[in-house]
Copies of this chain bind each other. A is one copy, B any other.
């Protein structure tokens, strides 16, 4: 779901002086966590060190609420440094803030470098991750004398799904959840396979219908060259480090390009960002300008991909297989350890059968059926995905017994229509942000913020304040 870009993380963590809001002064700590919550006799009958970030800078000790970020598929610093809204809320509410890292990501590798072997990878499941958070919250509340402090969970994207699930499964521990851009329906097999890339395409269409036409045409030109096996021309047009030699390489190039457009749509923020790589302000507009200004379509496509893959201009050529990893998630698996762990999750519980079809979207048709997924996952990880499991386990759209969840989504975000878009009850609230990209609302305030996200954050803030108040009454 997340594609992390090369060279970005180090930059991120070390240089966050560009931030304008309250700077989080996190302590980085490790929690001794149960390896296997669901089998007392497995290899997991032990513990591992789970990383978390914590700051009590604004906390009214023993009274202020706990804001707990349910970490998703990546280094936890990445999320901590790109969720400034939580810190802004923490100041208002005098909250203790914790960002917990998801097992098998970042530095929370249960078996070190062996974590991605079979069978060690088997302890990577949504349920284990949720149990980690439940145990961590329970234990830290004790240690910190915070037993009466209401806990609100926050998360973006898959992290938002985890926040929803925490509220559903651990209502005893979690008083409410802000789930930003959480595609709980599409990942549970309740979406349409064409939805995602159609919505990516729509973002570009909104800038200018000509933009999508030109992108389509660029892909078409590439296809013609590939059919003619004019691989030399393709290499030079796209500045590829290695000459493509097969249909497989062309497929990889198409995936690499499609992924660039996907990322620009997801991260179409109104100011430049350094989340999952460097992105200019309004990247979709920048991309369309690039596409429309080039004289050569293929070069324009390459330059557009370069916005994502070569923001610093340091690369002299594109190494397709290192810059983009194809996996069980057609929207991208990221790079490095992330890619392995997320690939496994997309092969087991998280259903991601999105495909482009060149009809409802501007990309080459790249089918990815349930059967493709099964074959890949069986070969790669020795697993057969269990369709319908996430829906059974985490309720799908049957949320009538749930409460205290905000589902926020931005209309620019291709993930949005895989989530809950309509308010379901007085305590299951959908907030839609017309000018918002992927969990923009979780980011700190910025002068370039559209009015819709400012309004959304205000509603979120008010609702969370109300949950905290209600929870306090319950403790009395």
Contact = CB atoms under 8 A, between A and B. Distances in A.
A142 to B, nearest CB: 10
A60 interface: no
A389 B132 CA distance: 11
A475 to B, nearest CB: 10
A225 interface: no
Interface in A355-389: 381-384, 386, 388-389
- Count of chain copies: 2
A118 to B, nearest CB: 5
A39 interface: yes
Interface in A33-90: 34, 36-42, 45
A134 B41 contact: no
Contact of A172 (B138, B170, B396): B396
B401 A122 contact: no
- How extensive is the interface on chain A, given as a class? 35 or more
Contact of A118 (B41, B125, B168): B41
A400 B170 CA distance: 11
A425 to B, nearest CB: 12
Interface string A384-404: 101011001101101111111
Interface string A119-132: 10111010110010
Name the residue among A118, A122, A389 with the largest chain B CB count within 10 angstroms.
A122
Interface string A166-191: 00111111000000000000000000
Given A169-B169, A401-B403, A135 B392 contact: yes
A127 B398 CA distance: 21
B39 A39 contact: yes
A392 B121 contact: no
A474 B398 CA distance: 10
Contacts of A348: 40
Name the residue among A169, A398, A400, A401 with the largest chain B CB count within 10 angstroms.
A401
Contacts of A404: 401
Interface string A314-326: 0000000000000
A38 B127 contact: yes
Contact of A383 (B38, B45, B123, B135): B45
A400 B38 contact: no
Interface string A331-358: 0000000000000000110000000000
A41 B128 contact: no
A39 B38 contact: yes
Q: Please name the 9 residue pairs, one residue from A and one from B, whose CB atoms are nearest each other, closest first.
A: A41-B122, A171-B401, A172-B395, A172-B398, A40-B383, A38-B38, A41-B119, A39-B122, A40-B348
Given A39-B39, A42-B119, A171-B400, 4 more contacts: A39-B42, A41-B382, A168-B171, A170-B392
7 contacts: A37-B389, A38-B38, A38-B127, A134-B392, A168-B171, A170-B395, A172-B398
Interface of A: 34, 36-42, 45, 118-119, 121-123, 125, 127-128, 131, 134-135, 138, 168-173, 347-348, 381-384, 386, 388-389, 392-393, 395-396, 398-404, 474
